[in-house]
Amino acid sequence: VFDCRDAAVKRDLWRASVSQLRIAIALEELRQKNGSYPDALDALGLQEVDPFSGAGFVYRRDGAGYLLYSVSINRVHNPRFT
């Protein structure tokens, strides 16, 4: 039996993954240009939206790197499972 909710979740997971990839590429390009990652995603000039929250992805600098994730299906801020 086809469950359209499963298809919608899979679509949103795919969209979140593609958006995070776009963000990661832009972050790396900016790091190469400026020597560090930005403090906020606004610096990238992208309009990527987390399909699960309807807001921007969660981002924060973490040492020399960064943490980027979607709140995903459960809409909980838990980067361990993204």
Whether 77 has a pLDDT exceeding 70, the answer reads no
The β-bridge partners of 66 are: 61
Q: Is 31 exposed, middle or buried (0-12, 13-18, 19+ CB in 10 A)?
A: middle
Question: What are the strands, taking DSSP E only, across 1-82?
Answer: 58-62, 65-69
pLDDT higher for 80 or 3?
3
Other CB atoms within 10 A of residue 48 CB = 18
User: What integer pLDDT is reported at residue 81 of this predicted model?
Assistant: 44
pLDDT-derived band of residue 71, with 50, 70 and 90 as boundaries? confident
Q: Is the pTM of this model over 0.95?
A: no
Contacts for 40-49: CB closer than 8 Å, 24+ residues apart: 46/22, 48/19, 48/20, 48/22, 48/23, 49/19
